[in-house]
């Protein structure tokens, strides 16, 4: 499987419902009218929620950076494994 099947980036992490005391971060795809990709909440400290949300939001950029590095370096076990994992292989 080499085709990407996820919503194209950029993705953005924003805190939602802070006025209700509910610590929730939403990851949205901005080119698609703020389409929600994921939600991070519950069970961890608030700073962990925020860090996880920003990492998820960076996923499309990180994937493209890995592809770029792979094209420069050539076959590489670590890069190939990371790209395959991102594609669900």
What's the pLDDT tens digit per position in 19-46?
A: 666 678 889 988 666 788 888 887 777 7
Domain coordinates in residue numbering, the chain:
8-57, 59-89
Instruction: Extract the tokens encoding 19.
Output: 């006025």
Question: What per-residue confidence (pLDDT) applies to 36?
Answer: 86
CA atoms within 13 A on the CB side of 61: 9
pLDDT higher than threshold 90 for residue 75: yes
With bands split at pLDDT 50, 70 and 90, how would you rate the model's confidence at 54?
very high
Average pLDDT, the chain: 85
HSE-CB for 59 with a 13 A CA cutoff? 21
């Amino acid at each position: 499987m080499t085709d990407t099947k996820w919503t194209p980036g950029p993705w953005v992490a924003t805190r939602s419902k802070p006025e209700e005391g509910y610590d929730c971060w939403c990851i949205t795809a901005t080119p698609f009218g703020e389409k929600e990709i994921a939600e991070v909440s519950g069970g961890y400290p608030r700073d962990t929620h925020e860090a996880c949300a920003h990492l998820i939001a960076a996923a499309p950029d990180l994937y493209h950076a890995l592809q770029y590095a792979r094209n420069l370096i050539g076959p590489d076990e670590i890069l190939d494994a990371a790209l395959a994992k991102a594609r669900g292989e």
